[in-house]
Structure 1
Amino acid sequence: MKLKRMIAFTLSVLMASSMAGCGKSLPQNAKTTSAAGSTAASSATGELKPESGAKLKFRTSSASQLNFAKALAKKFEAKYGVPVTAEDGSVYDQNKTNLEATSGKGPDVFMSPHDKTIENQRAGLLLKLDDRVATELKKDVSDVAMKTVTVDGGVYGVPVSIETYVMFYNKKLVKGSPATSYEQLMKESKSFNNAGQNKFWFLSHVSEGATMFPMLSAYGYKPFGENGTDNDKPDFDKPEFEKGLEVLKKYHDLMPAASGDLANWDFLTNQFVTGKTAYLISGPWNVKTFRDAKADFGVTSLPTYDGKKETSFAFVQNAQVSAYSKYPKAAQLFAQYMVSNEGAELLYSDASCITSRKDISQVKGLAQDEQLSAIVKCFNDSIPVPTAKRISYFWTICANVGPAVFDGQMTPKAAAAKAKSDWDSFLKAE
């Protein structure tokens, strides 16, 4: 699922009521492996092997990944002798996941956005991975990505693909090394910006919580606690949040346009490929569009502001093993295989997605891809989008106050106060 679509989707699914309390007990194999599995896994030695006669069902969460899933299944069967049926589950559906898992009709392995990990784990739907698998994953997979499958010290899935925001630059307009700071961008924009001709040196969407977060983060603002899991700490009352809003306001000087105009992704993309914008904040989903348009572009880190690092949210698609799988060992091996060099190569070639592996030097295709390799480096400087259940409140509040600050209709101080007030209203309505 592409990041800009994922944000809107996350808003809707997190507002829906959870079916975690379905009341059904775990099957015997799930109880043994999930509840008491830490002891058994710790004492296990040797190579993990699939069960005799194992056969698996794997569900993607996007039709664009079905070819990858089928190719991966074929290679996995050739290596382990375990047949895998791949199916397209379309957009991830939490209610469907709950109902199918507890009825025993769900897939053995399924893809899900990382913000669902804690909810699924608390509901008893996920298998805690064998210590041998978890140890290998910690060696091979990005530390940022591993945070999205780690709950109470246990590993409950395999981070497969990653996305985050980066700064693209048009090499025909940017001569030499790209800018590294807001101040440098501001200086360069003075001889280029021309609102009448729709020419802007730098552009970014500023109407969504995820797109404005880098600006909000400049002075250390981080919602929902250090790990993004504290439902009670949006921290709208912290000075770091108000200072972040001040940064957002200053970006209007760099982008003298209305937030509503900047909320049009097609406009932003067209500006970049037609040479009317030198720098654009976007993500890997835009790479194919830029290439199809024959744009000569590069990828670099987000700019600093006042010497302070801006941080992007990271989104991860995880492969999770059902606690109800009849073949938990085979299912774990299949999930782990997705982040092998072979799996990462197929993910790149057949799904145009970026693996979560730390080292991509042996991933054919991706290792030679200058732009996507740069995105991998940027991802390692990002933080996972919070998994707190009240994250939907955060998205809604940011979408309400952020554009108003950017457009000069509300001061950062007033916006911070409104954010806190709106948060309190959401809590009262629960």
Structure 2
Amino acid sequence: MRRSIPALAAAVGLAMALTACGGSSTPESESTNEPTTAETTAPALTGTLTMWVDETRIDIMKPIVKEFQDQTGVKVDLVQKVSGDIRTDFVSQVPTGQGPDVIIGAHDWTGEFVTNGVAAPIQLGDKAGGFAPSAIQAFTYEGQVYGAPYAIENIALVRNNKLVADTKATTFDELIAEGKESGAKYPVLIQQGDQGDAYHLYPLQTSFDAPIFVQDDTGSYTTELGLGGANGDKFADYLAKLGKDKVIDPAIDGQKALEAFQAGDAAYMLTGPWNTTTFTDAGMDISVLPIPSAGGAEARPFVGVQGAFISAKSENPVLANEFVVNFLTSEAVQTELYQAGGRLPALTAAADKVDDPVLAGFNEAGAGGAPMPSIPEMGAMWQFWGTTEVQIIDGQAKDAAGAWKTMVTNMQDAVDKA
């Protein structure tokens, strides 16, 4: 991390001193009734800000960083890090003083950063109200916000308009019926694979009011599992039904689902914006819609949020705050990031102006989404989750609710040991 000489406090003190002197510099005998003007320009920021970005975000951030430099005069040392190393390097290097002032990354890094003491909380103040609630919740840990969000992504229901022109279904079962009526080989595609895919099934699970973890009043995730009990049992039984009816097939992984939908073999598909470009580039006519409820409650897909963290050991906290809290959260910058990266802006004012109907559809579908948990315990959940769901779907688990209960017990043991 490079040292800088912002001298902000000294500049403020000097400005105050000059103002005080200026108030009595004109002798009373020489005073006039002519209005005077006072300097109101804030002290200039100076110094160097070091920022880490991985190879997937570097090209998007380069023009943004240049704009910040041009506006503020602050030099930004933009360092490209390997995506597989950036997160762990931040955790290991910040305590030694070798890390950056700012790091750009995903919200689910928050828990690890906070528990290791490497990220500083930020104060968005009134700005927080301008963001999608799920975006702020995503960077909230134990009641404090640790990152400024700039982009959101989630899955939604993608419709092949050639097969179904108008969706009237209000429940997932009605959606399946409409898909079957279209004559498509698959009424709706939900990718799985041998290890399962709990991520793509999560909207159905939350519609049974069975979230992976319970959230507190601040939106932070607790370590209390929320997918057990009667609601979890009902979801497990519903999964077994979808498997028995061949609506979901573990043999269809992400690639096979993508190919089948592109070939026109499915009326609907649960997927994200990372796949829709493939469809539109192929000339497909698609619409993006919210996912209907299967269990009666709102279907809440996981929401992934991109944003910026400030190092807890930053030697330039004033500069870092200026970039993260004031610059990155502006409507103009959030719009520029969307135009460069194709991800929906986290700032509502910018998102509302997106004229891409596909992204607008994802925005609507993810409005009430659930941020991907960033607590450390989340990492141990996937191994039990996807495997159990596959066993239920393909009929290996004769007692779906019983298999689900066993999974929850194993998850609880993992939480207790974390």
Aligned pair 1:112/2:78, yes or no? Answer: no
**Are the aligned partners of 1:180 and 1:301 in contact in 2 as well (CA < 8 Å)?**
no
Change (3 A) 1:215 1:143: same
- Counterpart code for 2:305: V
Q: C-alpha offsets along residues 24-59 of structure 1, whole Å, 9 cap, x if unaligned?
A: xxx9xxxxxxxxxxxxxxxxxxx9978742221222
Query: In 1, Cα distance between the equivalents of 2:379 and 2:142?
Result: 23
Q: Which has the larger radius of gyration?
A: 2
Query: In 1, Cα distance between the equivalents of 2:351 and 2:404?
Result: 44
Aligned pair 1:372/2:359, yes or no? Answer: yes
Residue 214 of structure 1 aligns with which residue? Answer: 203
Change (3 A) 1:427 1:190: closer
Return the offset for 1:421: 3.9
Query: In 2, Cα distance between the equivalents of 1:110 and 1:50?
Result: 26
- Counterpart code for 1:88: Q
Give the TM-score, by structure 2 length.
0.81
Aligned pair 1:290/2:282, yes or no? Answer: no
Task: Give the alignment's Cα RMSD to 1 decimal.
Answer: 2.7
**Are the aligned partners of 1:53 and 1:82 in contact in 2 as well (CA < 8 Å)?**
yes
Give the TM-score, by structure 1 length.
0.79
Query: In 2, Cα distance between the equivalents of 1:98 and 1:48?
Result: 38
Return the offset for 1:234: 2.3
Return the offset for 1:148: 2.1
Residue 301 of structure 1 aligns with which residue? Answer: 290
Number of aligned residues: 372
Q: Which runs of 5+ in 1 are unaligned?
A: 1-26, 28-46
Residue 68 of structure 2 aligns with which residue? Answer: 76
- Counterpart code for 1:201: P
Query: In 1, Cα distance between the equivalents of 2:106 and 2:222?
Result: 19
**Are the aligned partners of 2:60 and 2:337 in contact in 1 as well (CA < 8 Å)?**
yes
Residue 188 of structure 2 aligns with which residue? Answer: 202
Residue 97 of structure 1 aligns with which residue? Answer: 90
2:268 to 266, 279, 291: 279
Aligned pair 1:252/2:243, yes or no? Answer: yes
Aligned pair 1:312/2:301, yes or no? Answer: yes
**Are the aligned partners of 2:211 and 2:227 in contact in 1 as well (CA < 8 Å)?**
no
- Counterpart code for 1:338: L
1:415 to 403, 407, 416: 403
Query: In 1, Cα distance between the equivalents of 2:175 and 2:128?
Result: 38
Query: In 1, Cα distance between the equivalents of 2:264 and 2:401?
Result: 37
**Percent identity between the two aligned chains:** 22
5 Å-filtered alignment, 1:27-426, equals 52-61=45-54, 63-91=55-83, 93=85, 94-129=87-122, 131=123, 134-177=124-167, 179-192=169-182, 199-206=185-192, 207-227=196-216, 229-231=221-223, 233-252=224-243, 255-256=246-247, 258-259=249-250, 261-262=251-252, 264-305=253-294, 307-336=296-325, 337-360=327-350, 363=353, 367-410=354-397, 411-423=399-411, 426=414
Instruction: Please state which structure has a larger fraction of its residues in strand.
Output: 2
Change (3 A) 1:254 1:181: farther
Query: In 1, Cα distance between the equivalents of 2:132 and 2:406?
Result: 37
- Counterpart code for 2:278: T
Q: C-alpha offsets along residues 284-311 of structure 1, whole Å, 9 cap, x if unaligned?
A: 1112212221211110001122543222
- Counterpart code for 1:418: T
Change (3 A) 1:328 1:49: farther
Change (3 A) 1:426 1:326: closer
**Are the aligned partners of 2:108 and 2:373 in contact in 1 as well (CA < 8 Å)?**
yes
Q: Which runs of 5+ in 2 are unaligned?
A: 4-39
Change (3 A) 1:49 1:253: farther
State which drifts further: 205-214 or 415-424.
415-424
**Are the aligned partners of 2:110 and 2:139 in contact in 1 as well (CA < 8 Å)?**
yes
Return the offset for 1:128: 2.4
Query: In 2, Cα distance between the equivalents of 1:256 and 1:120?
Result: 40
